[in-house]
Chain A
Amino acid sequence: MNNQTKIRIRGVTFSYNGKPVLKEVSADISENKITAIIGPSGQGKSTLLSVINRLWENVPGASLQGSIEIFFDGRFKDIYAAGSDPAVLRRKVGLIFQSPNPLPMSIEGNVAFPLRLMGVRNRELIRSKVREALGQAFLWDEVKDRLGDDGRSLSGGQQQRLCIARALVLDPEILLLDEPTSSLDPTACEMIEELLSCLKNSCTLVMVSHYQEQVARISDETYQLADGHLSPA
């Protein structure tokens, strides 16, 4: 399974209100690796992530050419093929935002939220999934006695791990991370890095980062995005 390509990006050009952000971007992103995308700010690194889970489609004025295929269930599938449901795709391709964004609900409610959206009603199943996801995100021990507290009452680093747990509860195959540590202090940052290194056993991770040292520490493959062009760094 080593070096199996998970995401195949071919000739992707993305423009926003007629202004190109990504130009003819192509890349093969390997499975069960951490792929880092670096580059100056405002160059479309976040945009590249949103292209992989189709989240840009909710933003008016955006358009995309090219193809993106993801290796699901033994074969490559075009994620923009007619009839493919973006909601189903986003369950398999989770996204962690730059600043933690817990919803105004309890800790448990936050992690259970994606399951509820899918229509899961079985309380036992939800509870065990929540526990598993919080454990995977290194958060269970810190919150197990206060699952009913508001998710926003946690510290910044805990909130970010809560958001990671919330994405993990759906058993995603890919996790996209948009500068996941930029709003955190060094200790919280270190913890997240350790967590990401563990997660690559079960997921393919694509991470946008500003920090050279961080990239050097944890990434397996690195790309640079500048002037809309993506090149191996």
Chain B
Amino acid sequence: MKIPAERIVIVFSWACALLLLGCVAVIVGYLFIKGGRVLDLELVFGDSSPIDAFMLKNQVYSGLWPAIVGTLSLVAAAIFFAVPVGVASGIYLAEYSRGRVKGVFSLFFDILASIPSIIVGLFGFSIAVFLHQHFSERIYPCLLISALSLAFLVLPYIIRTTQVALESVPLSVRQTAPALGASRLQNIRHVLLPGSFSSLAGGIVLAMGRCAEDTAVIMLTGVVASAGIPRSVLDNYEALPFYIYYISAQYSDAEELAGGFGAALILIIICLMLFSIAFLVKNRFMHQMTRI
């Protein structure tokens, strides 16, 4: 017979878990009811042929394809900038910095993590304006500026995840390679990083999700309602979250609103796909590490 307090905790935990699960089901279900019926190739590619759109032969004007490509390029570019810098900073914090220096750096990264995304967007916008005025008239808010701002936004996540992952490697594992004559760098490269790769991948996946869903930063740094597929990183671009925001604020008929819900579903699907890819990469990488 369990004591009452223990029962209450168990029932409460179950209730909370069910509540959360219910919320997810309600949100996804609602999106499906509202947008499911318009979710087809036409929503994505409009009246263009999907194959031509894939091969980037035709610009798609009436579908979500440019917004999908925009969001994917944005995530890829932001992660491309954020991961090397974030992982390197995390390694520095966990393995090299000590005492006061570590405290000061940690404080700064915490402050960075607490900056609202709209401020980061404003900062990116100011940089774009500054570059436009002082360096080249060709520079204006664009995919590159958005990606850099987003990278800045997710850096603290990646830094912290890397740091915590490395610091939680147990001392017995941590000292194995040095006891066999490994330098500090060799220990990080051969034992600590591979050993903490799964938590690291988790942090990167979270950061990707954050990049895919953010609206505030990109609104100020280069996303537009209609631009087609960007030809370079210095172009304007479309993105799904901004499209959803734009439609929900300015829709003219029920059909357009349904398109917005469709876009929301596609955004969720993209996030799911990103998560699965990260998961696969993680498993593959772990497998390789055990074979060196």
Interface residues of A (CB under 8 A from B): 53, 55, 58, 60, 86-88, 90-91, 94-95, 97, 99, 101, 103-106, 109, 113-114, 116-118, 150, 166-167, 170
- Cβ contact within 8 Å between B291 and A87: no
In the bound complex, what is the Cα–Cα distance between A60 and B102 (angstroms)?
Answer: 13
A-B contact pairs, 7 of them (CB 8 A): A55-B179, A87-B183, A97-B172, A97-B179, A105-B290, A117-B180, A117-B190
Residue of A nearest to B99 (CB): A60
In the bound complex, what is the Cα–Cα distance between A63 and B46 (angstroms)?
Answer: 70
B91 to chain A, nearest CB (A): 15
A106 to chain B, nearest CB (A): 7
Interface residue B292 (Cβ < 8 Å from any Cβ of A) = yes
Residue of A nearest to B182 (CB): A117
Chain B positions 169-184 with a Cβ under 8 Å from a chain A Cβ? 172-184
Please give, as numbers and ranges, the residues of chain A lying within 8 Å of B184 by CB-CB distance.
Answer: 58
- Cβ contact within 8 Å between B181 and A104: no
In the bound complex, what is the Cα–Cα distance between A167 and B250 (angstroms)?
Answer: 70
Residue of B nearest to A170 (CB): B181
- Cβ contact within 8 Å between B178 and A58: yes
Please give, as numbers and ranges, the residues of chain B lying within 8 Å of A105 by CB-CB distance.
Answer: 290-292
Interface residue B98 (Cβ < 8 Å from any Cβ of A) = yes
The contact of A106 among B183, B186, B190, B291, by CB within 8 Å, is B291
The contact of A90 among B173, B174, B178, B291, by CB within 8 Å, is B178
- Cβ contact within 8 Å between B180 and A90: yes
Task: Given A58-B184, A94-B179, output 19 extra A-B contacts at Cβ < 8 Å.
Answer: A55-B179, A60-B98, A90-B181, A91-B181, A97-B172, A103-B176, A103-B177, A103-B191, A104-B290, A105-B292, A106-B291, A109-B291, A109-B292, A113-B190, A114-B180, A117-B180, A118-B181, A150-B290, A170-B181
Residue of A nearest to B186 (CB): A117
B98 to chain A, nearest CB (A): 6
The contact of B181 among A58, A87, A106, by CB within 8 Å, is A87
Please give, as numbers and ranges, the residues of chain B lying within 8 Å of A170 by CB-CB distance.
Answer: 180-181
B23 to chain A, nearest CB (A): 38
In the bound complex, what is the Cα–Cα distance between A88 and B173 (angstroms)?
Answer: 20
Chain B positions 240-292 with a Cβ under 8 Å from a chain A Cβ? 289-292
The SS class assigned to the B binding surface is helix
A172 to chain B, nearest CB (A): 10
A169 to chain B, nearest CB (A): 9
- Cβ contact within 8 Å between B291 and A88: no
- Cβ contact within 8 Å between A88 and B181: yes
In the bound complex, what is the Cα–Cα distance between A111 and B176 (angstroms)?
Answer: 12
Residue of A nearest to B184 (CB): A58
The contact of A166 among B174, B180, B289, B291, by CB within 8 Å, is B180
Return the 9 tightest CB-CB contacts between A and B, nearest first.
A91-B181, A114-B180, A95-B179, A90-B181, A87-B181, A117-B182, A101-B176, A104-B290, A87-B183
Please give, as numbers and ranges, the residues of chain B lying within 8 Å of A150 by CB-CB distance.
Answer: 290
- Cβ contact within 8 Å between B180 and A113: yes
- Cβ contact within 8 Å between B289 and A117: no
In the bound complex, what is the Cα–Cα distance between A170 and B172 (angstroms)?
Answer: 20
In the bound complex, what is the Cα–Cα distance between A103 and B187 (angstroms)?
Answer: 12
The contact of B172 among A99, A106, A109, A116, by CB within 8 Å, is A99
The contact of B175 among A58, A91, A94, A114, by CB within 8 Å, is A58
Among B173, B181, B186, the most chain A Cβ lie within 10 Å of the Cβ of: B181
A148 to chain B, nearest CB (A): 9
Please give, as numbers and ranges, the residues of chain A lying within 8 Å of B174 by CB-CB distance.
Answer: 58
Q: Decide yes or no: A53 and B194 within 8 Å by CB, A101-B172, A105-B290, A106-B290 being known contacts.
A: no
Interface residue B124 (Cβ < 8 Å from any Cβ of A) = no
In the bound complex, what is the Cα–Cα distance between A95 and B184 (angstroms)?
Answer: 17
Interface residue B195 (Cβ < 8 Å from any Cβ of A) = yes
The contact of A104 among B98, B172, B195, by CB within 8 Å, is B195
A57 to chain B, nearest CB (A): 9
